[in-house]
Amino acid sequence: MDIQQACLPDHMEEECAVFGVYAPGSDVARMTCFGLQALQHRGQESAGIAVGDGERVVIEKNLGLVTQVFNEASLAALQGDVAVGHVRYSTSGGGTWEAAQPHLSAIDDVQIALAHNGTLVNTQELRDFISSCSIELMAGTDSEAAAKLIGKYTQETHFLREGIARAMKKIKGAYAMVLTSPDTLYGFRDPHGIRPLSLGELPCGRGYVLASETCGLDIVGARFVRDIKPGEIVRINREGVISYQGVESHKRASCIFEYVYFARPDSVLDGQSVYEARREMGKVLAREAPVDADLVLGVPDSGIPGALGYAKESGIEYSDGIIKNRYVGRTFIQPTQELRQLGIRLKLNPLPSVLKNKRLIVIDDSIVRGNTSKKLVQMLRDAGASEVHLRIVSPEVMWPCFYGIDTDTRSQLIAANMTHEQMRAFIGCDSLAFISLEGLRASLPFCEHPQFCEACFTGDYPVEISPSTARDSFKTKESFADELENENKLNDTVSLH
Ligand code: SF4
């Protein structure tokens, strides 16, 4: 394994968030900027806003966090009645300026800007088709292909709604998209509803908002109206909100991992509070995997509600014990390899005064490659913990995700390559337990549509994956344990501590 692979993130990483607003007379660019800041946890590599001013669509995007990309001057230049925005974290298409969104498509007089959360699984087929129509592609991303396809079909049909609907019949995969023309906002979602998209209304009839999560509605004072339905297109302009069924909906398959890790705890997905869901996961885990200990800790931030739930159910005291540095994040300026090797210590620091001679139950959201968990356990032992019992509020991640989440191939997923006891020994904890899939589902009692994508746990994919992608991604490696050990030696060699 080379050093670059050794530095891959050890988490399921969300790839994007979208935001859209139709509000004539309001500062739509600034509202979008606020919305994107609320959704920044879903992507930190690039940010962009496109504004429609009635005649044209103007766009500003760049690499970096929202606050790095936009300032007073750039927002002042984005004047109009309607806007869409995007934040991105991705490995597909690379972290280039061209791959940043929204994507502009201008074919003859059809000018649109598109922002996409998710991943299309038939991108190559789409790209081949678009190239055969002599339409140039610059970015190499699935989202650009979707934007060009919508532009082409709109040019042919003369109706944007029809252009979107025709494109939805051709694209496959996970998508929650917002799109602006010079005067109208659109939002649409894939037939399974894999990635979330919510509609909100601004006070005093000022307009409407679309956002990947409800926390994006809250920040601009919008009232939650409803979630966009699978396969639905909503059109928002001076006529109000009009709904169309763009493609026939299929069996719902909302990403269950949104509740575990991706979504912000103050968001509500399909009627279910993410915070309450995480607390409930902790309670379920306490019943499924009890252990005698002195303290329950959560790995900040996503593990905290689960730890509170575990503590309540078990009667074992909850305590802070790991402090998160809130000002270290992923930015477009990649730190040096040496700093990246510090990994967990850049973000988390233990409290030895709390942990010394204590038997700990530590709640975390997931284990992907296992290296972060290994370092976490060692860090807690170094801080004086006498026992560390790891409890995970997701089932074992056994399969890669192809629907908008950056995961490794199967060969790099620890649970796909080791037995439970091998994992425990590798991580170095005293005991290890994962919530059951039934337990995870039971933690979402208020979800209005409890039909989920659970493919990363089960391998049961709601949208078919192309055979060539599957062949490479599903391979497992017999030498996985050796590889992880080598990687660990490499980390030890070059780390600064
Ligand atoms: S495979 Fe996992 S992470 Fe990907 S959409 Fe399905 S549940 Fe979510």
Q: Between β-strands 431-434 and 110-120, what pairing exists: parallel, antiparallel or unpaired? A: unpaired
Nearest CA to ligand 1 atom 6: 453
Give 110's pLDDT tier (boundaries 50, 70, 90): confident
Return the pLDDT at 374.
94
Segment among 56-60, 338-342, 460-464 with least mean pLDDT? 338-342
**405: phi > 0 → left, psi -120 to 50 → alpha, else beta; which?**
beta
In the reported structure, the alpha carbon of residue 462 is separated from the centroid of ligand 1 by a whole-number distance in angstroms of: 10
CA dihedral 302, 304, 309, 313 (to 10 degrees): 130
Cis peptide before 335 (omega within 30 of 0): no
Report the distance separating Cα 100 and Cα 86, nearest Å: 8
Of the residues 220, 250, 280, which one is the last residue of a structural domain?
Answer: 250
Return the pLDDT at 343.
66
Residues 108 and 165 in one domain: yes
Segment among 23-27, 65-69, 417-421, 464-468 with least mean pLDDT? 464-468
Residues 104 and 210 in one domain: yes
Give 347's pLDDT tier (boundaries 50, 70, 90): confident
In the reported structure, the alpha carbon of residue 12 is separated from the centroid of ligand 1 by a whole-number distance in angstroms of: 9
The number of beta carbons lying within 10 Å of the beta carbon of residue 337 is 12
370 part of a folded domain: yes
**Does the Cβ of 403 fall within 6 Å of ligand 1?**
yes
**Percent of all residues in the chain with a pLDDT value above 90, rounded to a whole number:** 76
Q: Which residue has the tokens 């039971």?
A: 442
**Does the Cβ of 263 fall within 6 Å of ligand 1?**
no
461 part of a folded domain: no
Q: Answer yes or no: is pLDDT of 180 > 60.
A: yes
Q: Which residue has the tokens 């109706």?
A: 159
Of residues 343 and 74, which shows the higher confidence score? 74
Residue-level length of the chain = 497
Return the pLDDT at 47.
96
Residues 187 and 229 in one domain: yes
Let me know: does 228 contact 242? Beta carbons within 8 Å.
Answer: no
| Mean of pLDDT over the chain | 89
Let me know: does 423 contact 367? Beta carbons within 8 Å.
Answer: yes
pLDDT digits (tens, 9 = 90+) for 127-136: 999 999 988 8
Using alpha carbons only, how large is the chain's radius of gyration in Å? 23
Segment among 33-42, 85-94, 464-473 with least mean pLDDT? 464-473
Return the pLDDT at 6.
39
Q: Answer yes or no: is pLDDT of 491 > 60.
A: no
Residues 45 and 170 in one domain: yes
Residues 60 and 198 in one domain: yes
In the reported structure, the alpha carbon of residue 403 is separated from the centroid of ligand 1 by a whole-number distance in angstroms of: 7
Return the pLDDT at 14.
62
Segment among 1-10, 236-245, 255-264, 352-361 with least mean pLDDT? 1-10
Residue of 151, 145, 148, 114 lying closest to 127 (CA atoms): 145
CA dihedral 345, 347, 349, 350 (to 10 degrees): -110
Of residues 331 and 204, which shows the higher confidence score? 204
**Does the Cβ of 234 fall within 6 Å of ligand 1?**
no
**Percent of all residues in the chain with a pLDDT value above 70, rounded to a whole number:** 87
467 part of a folded domain: no
Residues 225 and 312 in one domain: no
Provide the CA 286 distance to its chain's centre, in angstroms: 27
- The counts of H helices and E strands in the chain are 21, 25
Cis peptide before 472 (omega within 30 of 0): no
Average pLDDT over residues 306-317: 98
**Does the Cβ of 454 fall within 6 Å of ligand 1?**
yes
Segment among 2-11, 43-52, 135-144, 286-295 with least mean pLDDT? 2-11
Q: Which residue has the tokens 């894999």?
A: 194
In the reported structure, the alpha carbon of residue 397 is separated from the centroid of ligand 1 by a whole-number distance in angstroms of: 10
CATH of the domain at 221: 3.60.20.10
47 part of a folded domain: yes
The number of beta carbons lying within 10 Å of the beta carbon of residue 338 is 10
Let me know: does 167 contact 149? Beta carbons within 8 Å.
Answer: yes
Residues 156 and 236 in one domain: yes
Of the residues 250, 276, 300, which one is the last residue of a structural domain?
Answer: 250
470 part of a folded domain: no
297 part of a folded domain: yes
Domain ranges, residue 100: 10-250
Of residues 138 and 452, which shows the higher confidence score? 452
Q: Answer yes or no: is pLDDT of 344 > 70.
A: yes
Provide the CA 83 distance to its chain's centre, in angstroms: 22
What are the tokens at 99?
Answer: 């791959």
Nearest CA to ligand 1 atom 5: 255
Angle between helices 480-494 and 420-427 (to 10 degrees): 10
Residue of 18, 452, 54 lying closest to 211 (CA atoms): 18
Report the distance separating Cα 86 and Cα 236, nearest Å: 18
159 part of a folded domain: yes
284 part of a folded domain: yes
Residues 243 and 286 in one domain: no
Which residue type does 306 have?
A: G
pLDDT digits (tens, 9 = 90+) for 361-380: 999 999 999 988 999 999 99
Q: Answer yes or no: is pLDDT of 330 > 90.
A: no
Q: Which active-site residues does the annotation give?
A: 16
**Does the Cβ of 453 fall within 6 Å of ligand 1?**
yes
Report the distance separating Cα 225 and Cα 209, nearest Å: 10
Residues 349 and 396 in one domain: yes
Residues 287 and 218 in one domain: no
**411: phi > 0 → left, psi -120 to 50 → alpha, else beta; which?**
alpha
Segment among 2-16, 61-75, 391-405 with least mean pLDDT? 2-16
In the reported structure, the alpha carbon of residue 454 is separated from the centroid of ligand 1 by a whole-number distance in angstroms of: 6
Residues 72 and 212 in one domain: yes
Pocket test for ligand 1, best of 120, 255, 410 (most atoms within 8 A of CB): 255
**Does the Cβ of 15 fall within 6 Å of ligand 1?**
no
Residues 246 and 296 in one domain: no
CATH of the domain at 295: 3.40.50.2020
Average pLDDT over residues 452-470: 87
Provide the CA 218 distance to its chain's centre, in angstroms: 19
Return the pLDDT at 494.
27
**Does the Cβ of 413 fall within 6 Å of ligand 1?**
no
Total domain count, the chain: 2
Of the residues 250, 279, 308, which one is the last residue of a structural domain?
Answer: 250
